[in-house]
A = this chain, B = another copy of it.
Amino acid sequence: TDDRCSGVLPELYFSRETLDRQSDKRTDKTWLEAQQSDPNTVYLLFSNVNPMVSRCEEDKSSEVLDKLCRFRYDEVKDLIQKPKTKLIFLGVEKKKPPSSCSQVQEGSWEPPAWFAVGTDEDATELLKRCREDNCFFPESPNRNLLKFSEEEAGIVAHARSVLVWHDRYSFCPTCGSGTSLEEGGHKRRCLNSECRSLKGVHNTCYPRVDPVVIMLVVHPDRNQCLLGRKKSFPVGMFSCLAGFIEPGEAIEDAVRREVEEESGVKVGLVRYICSQPWPMPSNLMIGCLAIATSTNIKVDQNEIEEAQWFTRQQIAESLHRGANPALMLPPSQTIAHQLIRYWICKNANL
C-alpha cells in the first residue's frame, strides 16, 4: 500500500492535468482546423513564453491569484494567421456537457479545445485585446508563475514548456536549417529535405524535457536534514539540493553524485517520493529522500554558497511559523517544500 502521494503529500503545483491532451488529434489537421474556428474554443495568449494574466483582488486567504486571460477565435484570428505565431493544441476540457445542452441530444457536443498562442507582437498592443483590467505578462519567471489556481497551473506548465522549446529550438540542430511547426505544435520538422532528422525516429523533432533530481538528504541519526543555499537565494532561505540527471545515469545514482558534488556528503539509500513538472524552462523534477552515510559538509562553491544540517525542530518551526528570519523554506508550490514537509510528517522512516 502506498499513501505517499495521497494523505501527507498534496497534489503538487503544476501537476494537475486539467485538460485531456488527446495527442492522437495532433496529426488530424481537419479536426484541428475545425476546433480552431469553433466559437467555444479557448485561446491563451503568450508574449513569447509568458501568459497574459489578470490579477484578482486579494481574496479571503489574502493570497494574490492570477487568472489566465481567455480569448475566443474572433479575438485572436489575425494573430493565429501570422506565420511567426506558434499555435499549440493543449487538449480538450475533461468536463461533461451541461445536461440542458441541445447538442448533446444531437450527439454533436464536443468538449471545448484549448490552444496556446505564442507571439512576439508588441506586448502593450496585445494587452489591449483583453476585456479585463489589470492584465499583464508576468516577467521574471520563477515566483511570478506560482500564483495560479491548481487547474490553471497545470495548463501553464504544459504550454510554457512547449513554447520555450520553440523559442530556443527553431533551427534544426542536426543540419542548421530552419524548421516548421507540426502536430499541433508538438513537433518541429526540418525544412531541408536531405536532413538525417527526417529519417527514422530521433529526438530532435520533439520537445525537450530535462529530468532533474531533487532530494532531501536525511542525517544518519534520522533527526536532521541537509539543506543548501545558492548565492541567488533571498537571505535566510535554504532548500533541497538538486541537479540535472546526466546521460547514462539512473535516478538513484544522480542523487548520490549531485549530493556529493554539492555538499561532500555521501548518500546510501535513495527513495523516490514524487515528481513535478517545472516549466522554467522545461524540467521534470524527480523528488527523493536520501539517507546520508557521512556527515561532513564541504560545499562546491560554484553552485552552493552554504549547506547545513537542520534539526527536525528547526524545520518544523520554520514550516509552522511561516516567516522565520533564521530559516526560510521554499514556498509550498515547490516540490522541495513538499519533500521537507513529507519528511517532517512521516517520521523519516524511509
A-to-B contact residues, CB < 8 Å: 1-2, 5, 12, 14-15, 17, 21, 23-24, 154, 156-162, 165, 168-178, 186, 196-197, 202-204, 206-211, 244-253, 257, 261, 269, 271-272, 274-277, 279, 281-282, 284, 286, 300, 302, 349-350
A249 and B168 within 8 A (CB) = no
Asked if B21 and A251 sit within 8 Å, CB to CB, the answer is no
Task: Among B159, B165, B245, B269, point to the contact of A284 (Cβ < 8 A).
Answer: B245
Asked if B2 and A261 make an inter-chain contact with CB atoms under 8 angstroms apart, the answer reads no
Complex contact A208–B206 (CB within 8 A): no
By the criterion CB–CB under 8 Å, are B247 and A161 in contact?
yes
Q: In the assembled complex, which residues on chain B have CB atoms less than 8 Å from the CB atom of A250?
A: 12, 15, 274-277, 284
9 closest A-B pairs (Cβ-Cβ)?
A: A158-B248, A161-B247, A157-B248, A171-B176, A169-B173, A251-B275, A272-B272, A173-B173, A176-B176
Q: Judge whether B1 and A350 touch: CB under 8 Å.
A: yes
| A168–B245 touching, CB < 8 Å | no
User: Provided the pairs A204-B169, A250-B277, A252-B5 are in contact, do residues A284 and B24 lie with their beta carbons within 8 angstroms?
Assistant: no
CB-defined contacts of A257 to chain B, threshold 8 Å? 17, 21, 23
- The answer to whether B248 touches A277, judged by C-beta atoms less than 8 angstroms apart, is yes
The count of identical subunits is: 2
Bound form: Cα–Cα A1–B21 in Å: 37
Contact of A244 among B154, B206, B350 (CB under 8 A): B206
CB-nearest residue of chain B relative to A154? B248
Return the contact of A172 from the options B173, B203, B246, B274 (Cβ within 8 A).
Answer: B173
User: Could you tell me if A252 and B277 are in contact, using CB atoms closer than 8 angstroms?
Assistant: no
- List B contacts of A156 (CB < 8 A): 248
* Complex: A262 Cα to B157 Cα, angstroms: 24
Complex interface: chain B residues within 8 A of A162 (CB)? 247-248
* Residues in B whose Cβ lies below 8 Å from that of A279: 247-248
| Contacting residue for A251 out of B161, B271, B286, CB 8 A | B286
Q: A44 to chain B: closest CB distance in Å?
A: 13
Closest to A271 in B: B2
A211 touches which of B175, B211, B350 (Cβ 8 Å): B211
- Are A269 and B158 interface neighbours, CB within 8 A? no
A sample of 17 more A-B contacts (CB under 8 A), given A176-B178, A250-B277, is: A24-B300, A157-B248, A158-B247, A168-B173, A170-B174, A171-B171, A171-B173, A173-B173, A186-B246, A203-B208, A203-B282, A209-B210, A211-B211, A247-B277, A247-B279, A250-B284, A252-B275
> Contact between A261 and B23 (Cβ–Cβ < 8 Å)?
yes
